[in-house]
Chains A and B, each alone.
Chain A
Amino acid sequence: MARAVSTRRKIGFTIAAWAVALMIFFPILYTIITSLKTEPEAIAGFSLIPSGTLESYFAVQSQNDYFKPFINSVIISVGSTLIALVIAIPSAWSMAFSPTKRTKDVLMWMLSTKMMPAVGVLVPMYLIFRDTGLLDTRLGLTIVLTLINLPIVVWMLYTYFREIPGEILEAARMDGASLFNEIVHVLTPMAVPGIASTLLLNIILAWNESFWSIRLSAANAAPLTAFIASFSSPQGLFWAKLSAASTLAIAPILIMGWFSQRQLVRGLTFGAVK
Chain B
Amino acid sequence: MGNIVLKKVSKSFGATTIIPEIDLEIEDGEFVVFVGPSGCGKSTLLRLIAGLEDTSAGSINIDGRDVTSEQPAKRKLAMVFQSYALYPHMTVRNNIAFPLKMAGEDKAVIERKVGDAARVLNLTNYLERRPGQLSGGQRQRVAIGRAIVRQPSAFLFDEPLSNLDAALRGTMRLEISELHHQLKTTMIYVTHDQVEAMTMADKIVVLNAGNIEQVGSPLELYRSPKNLFVAGFIGSPKMNLMDGATAAKYGASTIGIRPEHINISTTAGDWKGTVGVAEHLGADTFLHVHTDVGTINVRTGGEFVVSHGDTVFLSPDLAKLHRFGPDGSAL
Which residues of A come within 8 Å of B, CB atoms? 165, 167-168, 170-178, 181, 185-186, 189-190
Interface pick from B84-92, B239-247, B276-284:
B84-92
Q: A174-B72, A175-B146 are in contact. Are A167 and B81 (CB under 8 A)?
A: yes
Q: A170-B52, A171-B79 are in contact. Are A177 and B85 (CB under 8 A)?
A: no
Are A175 and B99 in touch, CB under 8 angstroms? yes
Are B146 and A167 in touch, CB under 8 angstroms? no
Q: A176-B103, A177-B73, A181-B102 are in contact. Are A171 and B85 (CB under 8 A)?
A: yes
Dominant secondary structure of chain B at its interface with chain A: loop
A168 to B87, CA, bound (A): 7
* A-B pairs, 3 with minimum CB distance: A176-B73, A171-B85, A175-B99
Are B83 and A176 in touch, CB under 8 angstroms? no
Q: Is B78 an interface residue (CB 8 A)?
A: yes
A109 to chain B, nearest CB (A): 25
Are A176 and B85 in touch, CB under 8 angstroms? no
Closest to B71 in A: A173
A190 to B87, CA, bound (A): 8
A260 to B252, CA, bound (A): 75
B52 interface neighbour in A173, A175, A189, Cβ under 8 Å: A173
Are A175 and B102 in touch, CB under 8 angstroms? yes
A176 to B98, CA, bound (A): 9
A165 to B131, CA, bound (A): 15
Question: Which residues from chain B contact A168 at a C-beta distance below 8 Å?
Answer: 85-88
Dominant secondary structure of chain A at its interface with chain B: helix
Question: Which residues from chain B contact A178 at a C-beta distance below 8 Å?
Answer: 102
Would you list 16 pairs from A and B whose C-beta atoms are within 8 A, ordered by A residue?
A167-B81, A167-B85, A168-B85, A168-B86, A168-B87, A170-B72, A170-B85, A171-B87, A171-B146, A173-B52, A173-B71, A174-B77, A174-B78, A175-B146, A176-B103, A186-B87
A177 to B79, CA, bound (A): 14
Are B79 and A190 in touch, CB under 8 angstroms? no
B89 interface neighbour in A172, A175, A176, A189, Cβ under 8 Å: A189
Question: Which residues from chain B contact A174 at a C-beta distance below 8 Å?
Answer: 50, 52, 72-73, 77-79
Interface size range of chain B in the complex? 20 to 34
List residues of B (44-90) whose CB comes within 8 Å of A's CBs. 50, 52, 71-73, 77-79, 81-83, 85-89
Known A165-B85, A167-B85, A185-B98; further 17 A-B contacts with Cβ < 8 A: A167-B83, A168-B85, A168-B87, A168-B88, A170-B79, A170-B85, A171-B79, A171-B85, A172-B98, A173-B52, A174-B72, A174-B73, A175-B102, A175-B150, A178-B102, A190-B87, A190-B89
List residues of B (245-274) whose CB comes within 8 Å of A's CBs. none
A190 to B146, CA, bound (A): 19
Question: Which residues from chain A contact B73 at a C-beta distance below 8 Å?
Answer: 173-177
Question: Which residues from chain B contact A170 at a C-beta distance below 8 Å?
Answer: 52, 72, 79, 81, 85
A181 to chain B, nearest CB (A): 6
Question: Which residues from chain B contact A176 at a C-beta distance below 8 Å?
Answer: 73, 99, 102-103, 150
Question: Which residues from chain A contact B87 at a C-beta distance below 8 Å?
Answer: 168, 171-172, 185-186, 190
A173 to B85, CA, bound (A): 12
A171 interface neighbour in B81, B89, B150, Cβ under 8 Å: B81
A174 to B77, CA, bound (A): 7
Q: A173-B52, A173-B72, A174-B72 are in contact. Are A190 and B83 (CB under 8 A)?
A: no
B232 to chain A, nearest CB (A): 31
Question: Which residues from chain B contact A181 at a C-beta distance below 8 Å?
Answer: 102
B49 to chain A, nearest CB (A): 11
A168 to B79, CA, bound (A): 11
B83 interface neighbour in A165, A175, A189, Cβ under 8 Å: A165
A180 to chain B, nearest CB (A): 11
A164 to chain B, nearest CB (A): 9
A225 to chain B, nearest CB (A): 38
Question: Which residues from chain A contact B99 at a C-beta distance below 8 Å?
Answer: 175-176
A168 to B83, CA, bound (A): 9
Question: Which residues from chain B contact A190 at a C-beta distance below 8 Å?
Answer: 87-89
A128 to B93, CA, bound (A): 58
List residues of B (80-126) whose CB comes within 8 Å of A's CBs. 81-83, 85-89, 98-99, 102-103
